[in-house]
Amino acid sequence: MKRLLAMAAALLFACAIPLIAADKTITILHTNDLHSHLMGFSPELDYTPAKAGDDATIGGYARLATAIKTERKARTNPVLLLDAGDFTMGSLFHMAAREEAFELRIMKAMGYDMVTLGNHEFDLMPKGLAGILTAGAAKGMPEIVFSSAIFSAESDKDDSLEAVFKKGVVKSYTVKIIDGIKVGFFGVIGDIAIGDSPFASPVKFKNKIEASREMVKLLREQEKAEMVICISHSGLYLGSESEDEALAKQVPGIDVIVSGHTHTMQDKPLLVNGVIIVQAYEYGKFLGVLDVAWANGKASVEKYKLVEINDSIPADMTIQGQIDGFIAYIDQAVLREHNLSYWKVIAETGFDLKTIEDESPIGNLITDSIRWYVNKYDSDPADPVTKVALGVESNGVIRDHLLKGKTGKVCVADVFRTIPLGVGMDDTMAYPLVTIYVYASEIKKALEVLTSIYPMKGNDYFLQLSGVKFTYNPHRVIFDRVTEIWLGSEEEGFKELDYSSGNTQLYRIAANIYDTTFLKVVGDYTFHFLDIVPKDRKGQTVTSLVDQRVDADKNKPGIQELKEWVGVMDFIRSFKDTDNDGTPDIPAKYAKSQGRIVKQPSWNPVSLLSRGTKLTWIAFAAFIVFIALIALVVRIVRKKFMVKEMS
């Protein structure tokens, strides 16, 4: 009897084995927000890919490629390499993205399996993205998954991109068999990133939650995927709930979210509702390495680390050789006409010019260059009003520091990286400069973007300024915090501005077309308290900013766009050679911020109410009514108590 029982138990145990899935591991290597940073930085002149241990630069795809190979070789299990979008827009390499797709080609060479699209892939408009994808498909690129696009049935401006999608160059999802596990992949873009995609029109985007539910249902039910990986350009914030956390909570059936967009350095995975969420900072500074344990149909974190990409990692010189070839192309196709080259030294500096969430030295320099450049090409000495009074740049468009490094030499590649974004209305690369005329009261409204919108929306909305100095009290009523304004410069002095509605003189503002578009529509986001009406020199309302682009050559037909990045280069090249070594020197004034933005917090009633707008007086009246009501209630309550005591 005992022998029969033992045989039965053994038989039951043997039958049970297939019902318990064997433990397996899948490694996910991941990056996000690479932004065309193929070279180590900064400064790039310090980057020595052929040698390790001799510079302080970070990043560089040749080093990243070595790190990827190292992680692959260290494992016998399957290894995936994924990127969560914004692989383009950020360096000189993207200037040839539509024709050459350098970013996608080098990612393919590095072994990337799959990427999704971020908001910056749409910076070059649908036609430009179609060019990138077509070039990538022809020359070799990773698989692309993107589940969010909605193409217009009315407009033909996205037809070329729609055609590329229909050819299967971009897939809404894909399924892979990895070590016997059926894994489904899809890609989405989040709400904030969609808001940062003004040039995607007429393409629209599905809500990320709805798109994800649709994809998970399809992958789980139709494709019978066991594991689902979402590559999400939505975002992950430290210390507060983010879009990818909401995605994990609201969409059951996702196992892993590889996150991008917010440039977050997440040193350990976030677990939300059983979903593993990871993000690896920005610009190829780190490689995320996630070892996923798979058992009984569930994914869990086996190990995780961020590998810093620095000079301790020897470069893959085959990858570097390809990048060097790209540089030669950029020199000929992009920079030659400007008498520039990638490695050309155009200035020297004895200090760092950093971008910070405040008035910054690099912000001072860039906005000064805007005023200088427009005035050089498009102001009339006989008409002082045509001189640019105010240069404006948002922090969201300033993308990098300008660092001294080991040599103090400033090359073209480093300068370009500070201000690289955009495309012109003439379909040429990079943002053009535009100008509008406004009243003094509208200058104050523009400055209120910094005092009132920036604190709510974050660093991208902080404004760097030239030609103006102002004070503000952050305790005043929202949209009415600016207290005093002066126009001028550090060299010529400042003169106080009468910003009352009675001052009907016109003042000229210059900025890139992206920032000017925001100033034009800021009233729509502020209940029209900050309405700014762009005008031309005659005071007539401007309906299209395209017509306000500065013309670099009025002798040629049409508008020859004045590009912002070229203006910065020319401004720097105009500096004096103070040490007589043949190279201009960045002036010492840019070693620190100039004090153009002065915060003066005060609860003094005079400071809170002085020169207040209608909004301030409405708020003050509401406060007085509130105090009066409280006093009335207190009086009534006291009276009732007195009546009770007397009775």
Cβ contact 522:449 at 8 Å: yes
Tally of CB atoms within 10 A around 617 = 13
Give the mean pLDDT of the chain: 95
Question: Once rounded to an integer, what is the mean pLDDT over residues 147-160?
Answer: 98
Band (18; pLDDT cuts 50, 70, 90): very low
Structure confidence at residue 644 (pLDDT): 67
**CA–CA separation, 437 vs 387, rounded Å?**
11
For residue 242 the two structure tokens come to 């983010």
pLDDT tens digit sequence for 566-590: 999 999 999 999 999 999 999 999 9
Band (7; pLDDT cuts 50, 70, 90): very low
355 three-state secondary structure: coil
Going by C-alpha positions, the residue among 78, 81, 137, 74 that lies closest to residue 104 is: 137
Mind spelling out the 3-state secondary structure of 469-536?
A: EEEECCCCCCCCCEEEEEEEECCCEEEECCCCCCCCCCEEEEEEHHHHHHHHHHHHHCCCCCCCCCEC
Band (516; pLDDT cuts 50, 70, 90): very high
b or e along 502-525 (b: 16 or more beta carbons within 10 Å of the residue's beta carbon)?
A: eeeebbbbbbbbbbbebbbebbee
Structure confidence at residue 19 (pLDDT): 37
pLDDT tens digit sequence for 107-148: 999 999 999 999 999 999 999 999 999 999 999 999 999 999
Q: Find residue 205's DSSP bridge partners.
A: 149
Cβ contact 433:562 at 8 Å: yes
**CA–CA separation, 151 vs 172, rounded Å?**
13
DSSP state of 128: H
pLDDT tens digit sequence for 530-574: 999 999 999 999 999 999 999 999 899 999 999 999 999 999 999
Instruction: Give yes or no for residue 13 having a pLDDT over 90.
Output: no
For residue 266 the two structure tokens come to 């997440």
Structure confidence at residue 162 (pLDDT): 99
pLDDT tens digit sequence for 75-117: 999 999 999 999 999 999 999 999 999 999 999 999 999 999 9
pTM of the model: 0.92
Instruction: Give yes or no for residue 22 having a pLDDT over 70.
Output: no
- Whole-angstrom CA distances from 361 to 282, 351, 421, 465 are 23, 10, 20, 11
pLDDT tens digit sequence for 451-499: 999 999 999 999 999 999 999 999 999 999 999 999 999 999 999 999 9
Instruction: Give yes or no for residue 265 having a pLDDT over 80.
Output: yes
Question: Once rounded to an integer, what is the mean pLDDT over residues 150-173?
Answer: 98
- Whole-angstrom CA distances from 433 to 125, 140, 181, 545, 550 are 18, 35, 53, 10, 6
Structure confidence at residue 641 (pLDDT): 78
Instruction: Give yes or no for residue 318 having a pLDDT over 70.
Output: yes
Min mean pLDDT across 21-35, 330-344, 389-403 is at 21-35
For residue 587 the two structure tokens come to 């002036």
DSSP state of 134: H
Question: Once rounded to an integer, what is the mean pLDDT over residues 180-207?
Answer: 97
Structure confidence at residue 69 (pLDDT): 99
- Whole-angstrom CA distances from 77 to 108, 152, 234 are 21, 43, 29
Question: Once rounded to an integer, what is the mean pLDDT over residues 412-430?
Answer: 96
Contacts by residues 178-181 (CB-CB < 8 Å, ≥ 24 positions apart):
178/26, 178/78, 178/80, 179/24, 179/26, 179/77, 179/78, 180/24, 181/24, 181/26, 181/226, 181/227, 181/294
Q: Which residues contact 192 (CB under 8 A, 6 or more apart)?
A: 234, 235, 243, 261
Question: Once rounded to an integer, what is the mean pLDDT over residues 47-63?
Answer: 96
Tell me how many degrees the CA angle 47-49-55 measures, rounded to the nearest 5: 45
**CA–CA separation, 115 vs 232, rounded Å?**
10
Q: H or E segment at 176?
A: strand 173-178
Min mean pLDDT across 1-10, 165-174, 212-221, 352-361 is at 1-10
Instruction: Give yes or no for residue 3 having a pLDDT over 70.
Output: no
**CA–CA separation, 71 vs 58, rounded Å?**
19
Instruction: Give yes or no for residue 4 having a pLDDT over 50.
Output: no
End-to-end distance of the chain based on CA atoms, in angstroms?
96
Tell me how many degrees the CA angle 16-18-19 measures, rounded to the nearest 5: 65
Question: Once rounded to an integer, what is the mean pLDDT over residues 47-51?
Answer: 95
Structure confidence at residue 12 (pLDDT): 38
Cα 275 from chain centroid (whole Å): 26
**CA–CA separation, 61 vs 343, rounded Å?**
18
Structure confidence at residue 647 (pLDDT): 64
Structure confidence at residue 139 (pLDDT): 98
